[in-house]
Amino acid sequence: MFNGTQIPPLLPHFSMERCVKKDNVWFTYKARIQAHKRLEWLDFHSQLLLVWYAILSTALGVLAIRHSTVLGPDTDVMATILSVALLGISLAVANRDFRGRAMLMRTNYLELQKLHRRLPDDSSSPDALKPTSDHVARYDDLLAETENHREIDDRIARVFATGLTSRTPTGFEYFNAILWLTARFFITTMLYVLPVAAGIYSFWNKP
C-alpha cells in the first residue's frame, strides 16, 4: 500500500519470453526458404522469358521483311501481340524486382536459422531455460526486416518437411500445395510454348 493506493503486482519475468518458441522460429525460417525459392523461380523464368520473347519477336520481324505473310494474313497482328507481351514482361521484371527480394529473403532466413540454433529447446518444465528478451527482440526485428512469406510457402514447407511433431499438414493443405506447384509448372510451360504453338498453327493453316 502507498498513500492508500495498491501497487499492482509485477508481471512474471518470463511472460513475454514465452511468446517466442523454437518451433515457431523453425516454421518461420522454413517458410521463408520456400519464399526465397519462389522468388528465385520468378526471377529466373521472367528473365528467361524476356530473352525468349525477344528472340521470337526479332526472328518474326526479320522473316516478315522478306515474307510479309509468313504466318498468314494476320502476321502483323501476331508480331504486335508478341511485342506487347515482351513489353509486359519487361515491365513486370523491372517493377517486381524478384532478384532483390530473393536476396533479402535469403539473408533473412539465414539469420532466422542462427536465431533458431541459439534458442533453448521448448519445454514445459519450470526449470527449463526460456527465451530471453534479446531473443524476442531479435525475432521481431527479423520478421520486420523483409516482406512476409505467403501462406502457400508455409504449406509447401510443411508438406515436404519430415519428422514433424506439430502443425502436420492436413489433407486439404497437402492437396493445395501440390495443386499450386503443378499449376505454376503448367502456366510457366505454357508461357514458353504458347507463342511457338500459335506460330506453327498459323503457318500450317495459312491460306
DSSP letter assigned to residue 165: S
Block mean pLDDT (10 aa), the chain, length 207? 45 44 90 97 93 88 79 81 85 87 96 90 60 85 92 96 90 97 97 88 74
Q: What is the pLDDT of residue 18?
A: 43
C-alpha to C-alpha distances, 50 to 53, 61, 63, 75, 87, nearest whole angstrom: 5, 16, 20, 21, 9
Query: 167-201 pLDDT, tens per residue?
Result: 999 999 999 999 999 999 999 999 999 988 888 87
Q: What is the pLDDT of residue 83?
A: 86
Q: Are 46 and 144 a contacting pair, CB within 8 Å?
A: no
Handedness of CA 169, 174, 178, 180 (dihedral sign): negative
Q: What is the pLDDT of residue 9?
A: 44
Q: What is the pTM of this model?
A: 0.80
Q: Are 82 and 50 a contacting pair, CB within 8 Å?
A: no
